[in-house]
Amino acid sequence: MHHSAPVPKIKQFALCRIAIYPREHRPPHVHVEFRDGGRCTVEIQSLKVEGSVRPLSKLAPALAWIASNRAQLLVLWKEIVQ
Give the domain extent around 43: 9-81
Q: What's the whole-model pTM score?
A: 0.87
What does the pLDDT look like over 3-12, one tens digit per residue?
455 667 799 9
DSSP tag of 19: E
Tens digit of pLDDT for each residue in 23-38? 889 999 999 999 999 9
**Helix (H, G, I), strand (E, B), or coil: what is residue 40?**
strand
Domain count, the chain: 1
Give the tens place of pLDDT for each residue, 14-67: 999 999 999 889 999 999 999 999 999 999 999 999 998 888 899 999 999 999
Composition of the chain by helix, strand, coil, percent to 5: 30, 25, 45
Asked whether residue 70 is domain-assigned, the answer is yes
Q: Would you state the pLDDT for residue 7?
A: 67
Residue 59 within a domain? yes
On whether residue 1 sits in a domain, the answer given is no
